[in-house]
C-alpha cells in the first residue's frame, strides 16, 4: 500500500518589501486562496453556501461527505495542505525570492490550474493587510527527496504533472524498537472528542491512520486495507519514554465571517519505545499529510528523526 500525492513548490519574487509577521504566513495564504478561489472557481449556479457538484471551489475548499461515499467516512478532508511555516517572520526586499509548497492529494484531478490562477492573483493584489505585492514566477513539481524537480508552469499554460510522489506504508523487515518524532508545527490531536494533552502513541497513530485512509478513500485508490482494530491494539502497547513539548498559542480571524479561530497546539520532540516497525511508515507519511486539526494550514507536520533503535 502507498500514499500518493503531488508535491508542488510555488516560487515568488517580491515587488514590494514583503513581511510575514510571526505565525501569520499560513493564514495569509490560506485566507486569500479561499477568497479568490470562491470568485474564480465557483460555477454560475452556485449560491451562498450551496455549491454544485462540479464546483471546483467546493472540491478544493469546502469538500463534503457523500451519502454514497466510502463506508465509515462522514467528513471529506480537503485535498491539499500548505507548507508555509518557514516564512513566518521572514522579510523579503524587492527582487528577492521566496517560496512555499502545496501538497495535492487528489490524484484524479490535481487542480493545478486553479492554484496557479489564484496564487498569481494573490501575489498581484498584495499579501496581508499591507497589500505587499509579489509575482508568481514559476511552479515546480518536486520528488520527496528534493533531488528531482521539474518546472510545470512559468507563465504560460500549466504543463502536465509527472507521476505523483509515493510513500510506501509497508513495514521494513528489520525490527525497530525506538522512534523519535519532532512535531514541527503546532499539533492538536483529538481523543474521545477532547484534545489530547500529550501525543500518546495509540492516539497519534490512530489519527495518522484515519487521515491517510480518508485521503486514499476520497482522492486515491481506496481506503487502507488493514485490520484497524488489531493495529490499534498493537499501537496501544507502544510507550512514550520521553516528552519534550511546549504549547504554541496563535489565532486567526476569518475575513469572511469575522470569527476568531485558535491555531495553537504543541511542538517539540517525543520518543517512543516498543515494536515499532509496522508503524514507522505511517509516521513518515504524516510529514506530508499532517495530522490532527487544521492540517490545511500546515498544522500537524511531524518529522521522523534518525534513531539507533533498530
Closest CA to 275 of 245, 221, 231, 222: 231
Predicted pLDDT at 66: 55
Please give the C-alpha separations between residue 224 and each of 14, 72, 210, in angstroms, as whole numbers: 43, 12, 9
Helix 280-289 × helix 201-219 angle, to 10°:
60
| pLDDT above 80 (res 94) | yes
- pLDDT tier at 251 (50, 70, 90 boundaries)? low
Dist CA 241 CA 63 (whole Å): 39
248 touches 266 (CB < 8 A): yes
- pLDDT tier at 274 (50, 70, 90 boundaries)? very high
Predicted pLDDT at 23: 85
- pLDDT tier at 173 (50, 70, 90 boundaries)? confident
Closest CA to 301 of 81, 142, 143, 63: 81
Predicted pLDDT at 67: 46
Over its C-alpha atoms, the chain yields an Rg (Å, rounded) of 20
Q: Which of 75-79, 255-259, 279-283, 286-290 has the lowest mean pLDDT?
A: 255-259
Please give the C-alpha separations between residue 129 and each of 15, 18, 132, 227, 250, in angstroms, as whole numbers: 16, 11, 8, 49, 17
Dist CA 61 CA 255 (whole Å): 15
Phi, then psi, of 227 in degrees rounded to 5: -90, 95
Q: Is 43 left (phi over 0), alpha (psi -120 to 50) or beta?
A: beta
CA atoms within 13 A on the CB side of 190: 8
Query: pLDDT tens across 21-71, in order?
Result: 988 899 899 888 888 988 887 877 676 666 766 688 888 888 875 544 454
Closest CA to 223 of 95, 76, 113: 76
Dist CA 226 CA 236 (whole Å): 16
Domain limits, the chain: 2-166, 170-305
- Span 146-153, average pLDDT: 89
Average pLDDT over the chain, rounded to an integer: 88
Phi, then psi, of 243 in degrees rounded to 5: -145, 110
Q: Which of 67-76, 209-218, 236-245 has the lowest mean pLDDT?
A: 67-76
| pLDDT above 90 (res 138) | yes
Dist CA 89 CA 25 (whole Å): 8
Q: Which of 101-110, 224-233, 271-280 has the lowest mean pLDDT?
A: 101-110
Closest CA to 260 of 250, 270, 269: 250
Between 100 and 53, name the one with better pLDDT: 100
Domain 170-305: top CATH class: alpha beta
Predicted pLDDT at 309: 54
- Span 113-123, average pLDDT: 93
Report the percent of the chain where pLDDT is more than 90. 64
- What SS3 class is residue 45? coil
225 contacts: CB under 8 Å, gap ≥ 6: 1
203 touches 235 (CB < 8 A): no
Predicted pLDDT at 53: 67
Closest CA to 120 of 84, 156, 93: 156
Closest CA to 92 of 118, 128, 63: 128
Dist CA 52 CA 272 (whole Å): 46
Cα-Cα end-to-end distance for the chain: 23
Predicted pLDDT at 246: 94
265 touches 195 (CB < 8 A): no
Predicted pLDDT at 306: 83
Predicted pLDDT at 41: 79
Amino acid at each position: 500500500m502507498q500514499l500518493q500525492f503531488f508535491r508542488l513548490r510555488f516560487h515568488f519574487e517580491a515587488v514590494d518589501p514583503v513581511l510575514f509577521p510571526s505565525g501569520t504566513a499560513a493564514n495569509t495564504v490560506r485566507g486569500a486562496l479561499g477568497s479568490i478561489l470562491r470568485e474564480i472557481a465557483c460555477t454560475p449556479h452556485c449560491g451562498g453556501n450551496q455549491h454544485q457538484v462540479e464546483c471546483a471551489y467546493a472540491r478544493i475548499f469546502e469538500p463534503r461527505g457523500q451519502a454514497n461515499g466510502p463506508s465509515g467516512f462522514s467528513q471529506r478532508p480537503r485535498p491539499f495542505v500548505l507548507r508555509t511555516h518557514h516564512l513566518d517572520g521572514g522579510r523579503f526586499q524587492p527582487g528577492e525570492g521566496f517560496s512555499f509548497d502545496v501538497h495535492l492529494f487528489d490524484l484524479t484531478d490535481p487542480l493545478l490550474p486553479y492554484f496557479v490562477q489564484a496564487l498569481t492573483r494573490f501575489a498581484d493584489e498584495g499579501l496581508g493587510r499591507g497589500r505587499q505585492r509579489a509575482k508568481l514566477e514559476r511552479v515546480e513539481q518536486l520528488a520527496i527527496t528534493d533531488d528531482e524537480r521539474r518546472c510545470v508552469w512559468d507563465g504560460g499554460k500549466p504543463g502536465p504533472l509527472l507521476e505523483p510522489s509515493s510513500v510506501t506504508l509497508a513495514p521494513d523487515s528489520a525490527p525497530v524498537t525506538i522512534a523519535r518524532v519532532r512535531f514541527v508545527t503546532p499539533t492538536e490531536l483529538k481523543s474521545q472528542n477532547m484534545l489530547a494533552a500529550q501525543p500518546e502513541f495509540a492516539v497519534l497513530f490512530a489519527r495518522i491512520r484515519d487521515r491517510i485512509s480518508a485521503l486514499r478513500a476520497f482522492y486515491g485508490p481506496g481506503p487502507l486495507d488493514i485490520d484497524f482494530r488489531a493495529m490499534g491494539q498493537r499501537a496501544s502497547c507502544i510507550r512514550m519514554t520521553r516528552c519534550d513539548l511546549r504549547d504554541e498559542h496563535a489565532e486567526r480571524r476569518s475575513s469572511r465571517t469575522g470569527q476568531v479561530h485558535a491555531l495553537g497546539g504543541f511542538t517539540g520532540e517525543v520518543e517512543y519505545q516498543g515494536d515499532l516497525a509496522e508503524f514507522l511508515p505511517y509516521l513518515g507519511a504524516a510529514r506530508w499529510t499532517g495530522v490532527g486539526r487544521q492540517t490545511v494550514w500546515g498544522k500537524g507536520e511531524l518529522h521522523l528523526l534518525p534513531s539507533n533503535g533498530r
